[in-house]
Amino acid sequence: MRSELRQSLYALVAGRVRFGVPLSRYTSFRIGGPADAFVEPQSVAELQALVSLLRREAIPYFVLGGGTNILVSDKGVRGVVIRLGAGFNYTRWGAEGERGHVRVGAARPLGRFVREAVARGYGGVEFAEGIPGSVGGGLLMNAGAFGGELGRVVERIVGVSPGGECWELSREELGFAYRRTALPEGFIVTEVHFSLWPVPQAHLQMAMEQAQRRRQQTQPYGYPNAGSIFKNPPGAHAGRLIEAAGLKGLTVGRAQVSEKHANFIVNIGGATASEVRQLAEQVRQVVWERMRVWLEPEIRFVGEW
C-alpha cells in the first residue's frame, strides 16, 4: 500500500489503523492470512469518510463482523478490512417511544443482544441463542435457527452505502431470503432496528435453554469452525446428505468433516484455508456423484485465492 495512502488512513481514523494484521485472530476458524490494512472506525462520520477515501483511491475493502461465517484465504485480503469499533456496540431501547422497539449497533455481539432482550421480557430473537458473531453479520446473513430468522423481526436498518452516503432502508427493501439479503455489495450496516413483543420470561428462558441443549447435542464444540459449510437445499438437510454419502471424518490435511455434524468442517489444529476449501469441494463433488444434489456454500470465501 502506498505510503501517502497509509498516511491518509492513519490521519482519518486517528491512528486506529494497522498494517499486515493476521486475520486468523479474528475468525472463528482461526484461519486467515494478513489484511493489507485493518481499520476500526468508531463513528458513522468516520466510516463515511473512510469509505469515500477508499472509493476515490479505488482501494477494495471487506467488512468483518465476528468472523464466524467466513473462510479467509491463506494469502489474506488485499486492500482494507473494516471492523466496526466500540462506537457501534450498543443497545438502545424504546427510542421511538414504542414498546419493544430497539436500535442495536452492528458491532453488538448477537448473543449479548439476545440475552438483553430476554432479560427485558421481549420475544422474537430467542431462537438466535448460540449463534455467534455480530448483529451486523447476522443481519447480512439473515441468520436463523430452529425455524426463526433475524429478518422477520427487523424493522429497518441504517448503514453506509458504497458511495459513502448514509442510507436508511426498510425491511421490504432489504429483500431477506434464506441466509442472504439484497443489500448491494460494499454496503456497511451500522445499526439495526428491531421490533420485538412482550413474552413471559419463563417462556423465553425455556426457549433459550432448548436452543442451547440442541446445539450442545448436535454441534462440534472444542474445534474451531464456521458453522454450516453448505446451505440446506430445498426440502433437504445438507448435513444428512453429507453423512449419507459416508463423508463424516473425511480429512484434507488438518481440516476434517466433523464426526458430530457432517455439515461442519473443523480445524483440528493448524488447518490452512486451502485445506478447508479443498475438503469442502471434495464433499460437494462426492454428494453430487452419490446423491445428485449440488450443494451451495453458506460460508463466504474471502480474500485472495
Ligand X SMILES: Cc1cc2nc3c(=O)[nH]c(=O)nc-3n(C[C@H](O)[C@H](O)[C@H](O)COP(=O)(O)OP(=O)(O)OC[C@H]3O[C@@H](n4cnc5c(N)ncnc54)[C@H](O)[C@@H]3O)c2cc1C
Which residues are the active-site residues? 179, 228, 298
Is 64 a binding residue for ligand X by CB under 6 A? The answer is: yes
Is 67 a binding residue for ligand X by CB under 6 A? The answer is: yes
Give the Cα-Cα-Cα angle 17, 23, 27 (nearest 5 degrees). 125
Residue 265: φ, ψ to 5°: -105, 135
Give the Cα-Cα-Cα angle 119, 125, 128 (nearest 5 degrees). 105
Distance of alpha carbon 164 from alpha carbon 44, whole angstroms: 10
Closer residue to ligand X (CB): 11 or 236? 236
Which stretch in 33-41, 60-68, 97-105, 244-252 sits in contact with ligand X by CB under 6 A? 60-68
Is 106 a binding residue for ligand X by CB under 6 A? The answer is: yes
Closer residue to ligand X (CB): 39 or 143? 143
Least separation in angstroms between CB 4 and ligand X: 27
Q: Please give the grid coordinates belonging to residue 97.
A: 417511544
Give the Cα-Cα-Cα angle 160, 181, 137 (nearest 5 degrees). 65
Is 300 a binding residue for ligand X by CB under 6 A? The answer is: yes
Distance of alpha carbon 263 from alpha carbon 242, whole angstroms: 7
Is 148 a binding residue for ligand X by CB under 6 A? The answer is: no
Is 63 a binding residue for ligand X by CB under 6 A? The answer is: yes
Closer residue to ligand X (CB): 10 or 301? 301
Q: Which residue in 62, 186, 214 sits closest to 127, CA to CA?
A: 214
Residues that bind ligand X (CB under 6 A): 28, 62-70, 84, 106, 131-134, 136-138, 140-141, 143-145, 188-189, 219, 225-227, 300
